């Protein structure tokens, strides 16, 4: 196998994965040709490099093709800012979708969604390179780390030539995993279209889970359900909370005595499913964090420290069980996430406390703090003020510095 192919990054836009057939890039210089009356020779003026435009044919296929197709459409349509494009050969780019994107669906090709996508580079004025680099590092590692997790699952899990009870136990654990994922869908506000398609895919998995007893089928059935969970939420903070519900999956599973070779494989299969769910969820939490915006430095650092602790706990367990590849993958995600949030958090205002005097309207308080009233709603919401017309007297309120 060619080593250069193994090094290619998985393709995605705003974290939504897809496959690519071919790519076309338009580039060159911007020129203005001036022609003057009664002069045979024109004058061509160079105006600088033209914006690079990337066009390619992409496709989404698999158990969750409808979910990822809708998520990709939403990622293109629902934002008025640039997004992160990861391309196998072009690399990591901040780009803006153009109005020339199209999608077609083919039932004959197994539910294949074909996309014709066109992006133009965003430029550097709106997106400073230091900020872009920290987010890009996280998103790029999310994709490669998820691949490491599924590859390790395929290596560890097997029911081949196993007795019936080993297969039944694996089916039972996988069913409990899908049940945990189903519970996680009840967190926060979801996108109605994506949610509906996602739940259909989750139902379909449950109906055929007892037939997915080879490692590739089961792993490629479960992991997209975890990654797809992120994309049904309208807010990355809700997606983060939903994925966090999966971190404790496996805690209630009954221990299995390792008395025979088959029992040892049963334990290994159970732990492989637990690792697949937990570690994919952790990776997806890092993806959600990279898409979050924060109001204050304290808010950013609180999220950073929360995920840092969860990753450290998972890495300790992986080290104890000699899962070196998954340990290394999570370690890289952890380092990139800490660097990203620390960098972005350093640009944010601090939260300070200010003590009120006599009762006064929130608008007046905001004006006294900021010189205008545009922060009135933020002050009231942050401090859970029931009536913004009457702030409680002699009370410490949190405000952005």
What is the rounded average pLDDT of the residues 201-209?
89
pLDDT bin (cut points 50, 70, 90) of residue 128 is very low
pLDDT, tens digit (0-9, with 9 covering 90-100), for 329-367: 999 999 988 888 888 887 777 766 666 666 667 666 666
Angle 178-179-180 from CA coordinates, rounded to 5°: 90
Give the three-state DSSP class for 234: coil
Beta-bridged to residue 119, according to DSSP, are 54, 97
User: Cα Rg for the chain, rounded, in angstroms?
Assistant: 25
Better-scored residue on pLDDT, 298 or 81: 298
Q: Distance between CA 249 and CA 269 in Å, rounded?
A: 14
**CATH 2.40.30-classified regions of the chain:** 8-36+47-125
Q: What is the pLDDT of residue 56?
A: 87
Given a cut of 70, whether residue 369 has pLDDT beyond it is no
Q: What is the pLDDT of residue 9?
A: 60
Tokens linked to 293: 């915006």
**CATH 3.10.350-classified regions of the chain:** 351-400
Q: What is the pLDDT of residue 130?
A: 47
Given a cut of 80, whether residue 166 has pLDDT beyond it is yes
Given a cut of 90, whether residue 89 has pLDDT beyond it is no
Q: What is the pLDDT of residue 213?
A: 84
Alpha-carbon torsion 337, 342, 347, 352, what sign? positive
Contact 128, 77 (CB under 8 A): no
Q: What is the pLDDT of residue 126?
A: 40
Given a cut of 60, whether residue 127 has pLDDT beyond it is no
Among 16-20, 77-81, 97-101, 185-189, the range scoring the smallest mean pLDDT is 77-81
Question: What is the pTM assigned to this prediction?
Answer: 0.67
Classify domain 8-36+47-125 at the CATH topology level.
Elongation Factor Tu (Ef-tu); domain 3 (2.40.30)
Q: Where are the alpha helices (DSSP H) in 291-375?
A: 297-320, 324-345, 362-370
DSSP secondary structure string for all residues of 142-203: HHHHHHHHHHHHHHH---TT--HHHHHHHHHHHHHHHHHHHHHTTSS-B-HHHHHHHHHHHH
What is the rounded average pLDDT of the residues 268-274?
93
Q: In the CATH hierarchy, which top-level class contains the domain 351-400?
A: alpha beta
Given a cut of 60, whether residue 368 has pLDDT beyond it is yes
Among 114-128, 181-195, 239-253, the range scoring the smallest mean pLDDT is 114-128
């Amino acid at each position: 196998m060619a080593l250069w192919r193994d090094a290619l990054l998985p393709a995605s836009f705003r974290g939504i994965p897809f496959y690519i057939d071919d790519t076309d890039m338009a580039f060159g210089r911007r020129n203005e040709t001036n022609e003057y009356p009664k002069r045979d020779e024109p004058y061509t003026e160079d105006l600088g490099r033209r914006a690079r435009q990337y066009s390619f044919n992409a496709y989404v296929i698999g158990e969750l093709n409808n979910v990822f197709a809708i998520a990709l459409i939403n990622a293109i349509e629902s934002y008025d800012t640039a997004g992160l494009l990861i391309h196998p050969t072009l690399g990591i780019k901040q780009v803006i979708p153009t109005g020339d994107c199209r999608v077609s669906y083919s039932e004959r090709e197994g539910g294949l969604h074909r996309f014709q996508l066109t992006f133009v580079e965003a430029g550097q004025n709106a997106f400073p390179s230091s900020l872009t680099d920290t987010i890009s590092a996280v998103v790029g590692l999310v994709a490669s780390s998820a691949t490491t997790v599924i590859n390790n699952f395929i290596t560890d899990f097997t029911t081949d030539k196993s007795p019936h009870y080993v297969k039944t136990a694996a089916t039972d654990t996988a069913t409990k995993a899908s049940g945990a994922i189903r519970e996680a869908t009840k967190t926060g506000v979801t996108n109605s279209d994506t949610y509906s398609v996602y739940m259909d895919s989750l139902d379909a998995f449950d109906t055929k889970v007892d037939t997915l007893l080879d490692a590739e089928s089961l792993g490629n059935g479960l992991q997209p359900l975890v990654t797809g969970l992120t994309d049904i939420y309208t807010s990355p903070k809700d997606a983060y909370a939903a994925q966090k519900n999966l971190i404790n999956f496996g805690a209630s599973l009954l221990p299995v005595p390792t008395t025979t070779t088959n029992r040892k494989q049963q334990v290994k299969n159970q732990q492989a499913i637990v690792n697949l769910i937990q570690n994919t969820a952790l990776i997806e939490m890092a993806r959600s964090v990279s898409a979050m915006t924060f109001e204050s430095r304290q808010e950013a650092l609180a999220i950073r420290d929360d995920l840092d602790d969860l990753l450290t706990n998972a890495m300790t367990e992986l080290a104890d069980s000699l899962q070196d590849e998954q340990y290394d993958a999570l370690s890289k995600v952890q380092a990139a996430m800490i660097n990203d949030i620390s960098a972005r958090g350093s640009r944010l205002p601090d939260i300070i406390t200010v003590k009120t005097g006599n009762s006064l309207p929130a608008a007046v308080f905001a004006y006294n703090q900021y010189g205008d009233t545009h922060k009135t709603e933020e002050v009231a919401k942050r401090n859970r003020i029931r009536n913004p017309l009457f702030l409680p007297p002699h009370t410490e309120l949190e405000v952005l510095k």
